[in-house]
Amino acid sequence: MKRTALHGEHVKLGAKLVPFGGFEMPVQYSSILKEHNAVRHRAGLFDLSHMGQFWLTGDMVADWADTLTTNAVATMKPMQARYNLFCNPAGGTHDDTIFYRLENRWLLVVNASNADKMWEHLNANRPASGVELENQHGKSALIAIQGPRSLAMLQPHVDVDLEALKYYFCIEGRVDGVPATIARTGYTGEDGFELFLSNDAAPKIWSTLLESHRGEGLEACGLGARDVLRLEAGMPLYGHELTEEITPVQAGLKWAVKTTKPEFLGKEALEGQIHGDDYSRIAGVVMGGRIPAREGYPVWHGGRLVGSIRSGSIAPSVDNKNVATALLEKAAATEATRLEIEIRGTKHEATVVPLPFYKRAK
């Protein structure tokens, strides 16, 4: 099991550590609820150093990447970030990622569990010239600070104007004197920033941020809180709402599938789904009672099995309702449709609702 550069900090804080994506990662420190509430109302600090980081350089990167991705790459502005997906020929999702266009190179951040698969995929499709790849997985750190107070807490530590940094853009700067790429991106449904920096510098930056702002309510947060936050915000998690069998179209991500682009891997299959509009799709579900829905539970409608649960949790930001996502047949995925979730042989009432369950006030 690998460890991030912040492993020692997690141990000091008494984190509960679990295997995730090949790394020993903190699932929680104090409690998932406390950490969740910190992000929704103040700010939380996350170690994301387990995520795969690949550097891409060369004159052909943008045009080549566009042949593998559903969203556009070549149209990105300097220092812009963009959510993107890689698909297999059948349209299933190889991974969902974020591209960052920096001054002289590109940064691709992939899911930790897919890092090896994505590295092989990129190299297998790399042209003979014009694209150079460098694998920084586990060699570079990534710290996220997320929540409505994240800007105010981070600003004293950096030498750039964070207020002027637009959402899904990044900037090169220094965090307490340490060189870093600072991106206004995140995976919680809140405003926030992600700091790409060296492994050597990461422990000091992590501890300094916590010590400086603990009195303002900054909390170290683990994977448990992150999963509840992203689910409330309707954001997909690879392996749940996206898989090699579940396409971006099925996951409700048609906005990230640019069929106007020239040929890209999986385009024909995705176009077929879009035009046919007769595919199973991810929908939001709210349970009628206090029993939570969990991954894999069967979903019934009108006496028929119509799908299964993909993710489920209590949602503190949605009046503590039990919410879930489900992959459902088209007819069952319509808003306000009454469903039954089978839990250990007993069927429980549920209702289809729009995603996301939670959206922050602007």
* Superfamily of 280-353 according to CATH: Aminomethyltransferase beta-barrel domains (2.40.30.110)
Same fold, 7-50+138-232 and 280-353: no
**Residue for token digits 């700010």?**
43
314 and 308 in contact (C-beta within 8 Å)?
A: no
**CATH among 3.30.1360.120, 3.40.640.10, 3.30.160.40, 3.30.9.10 for 7-50+138-232:** 3.30.1360.120
Q: What pLDDT is recorded for position 208?
A: 98
| Whole-number Å distance between alpha carbons of 156 and 176 | 9
265-269 contact pairs (CB < 8 A, 24+): 265/67, 265/68, 265/86, 265/87, 265/88, 265/89, 265/125, 266/70, 266/87, 266/88, 266/89, 266/90, 266/91, 266/92, 267/70, 269/87, 269/89, 269/90, 269/91
pLDDT of res. 285: 98
Q: Is this model's pTM higher than 0.85 or not?
A: yes
The ranges assigned to domains in the chain are 7-50+138-232, 280-353
Query: pLDDT 10s digit of each residue in the chain, 362 long?
Result: 999 999 999 999 999 999 999 999 999 999 999 999 999 999 999 999 999 999 999 999 999 999 999 999 999 999 999 999 999 999 999 999 999 999 999 999 999 999 999 999 999 999 999 999 999 999 999 999 999 999 999 999 999 999 999 999 999 999 999 999 999 999 999 999 999 999 999 999 999 999 999 999 999 999 999 999 999 999 999 999 999 999 999 999 999 999 999 999 999 999 999 999 999 999 999 999 899 999 999 999 999 999 999 999 999 999 999 999 999 999 999 999 999 999 999 999 999 999 999 999 87
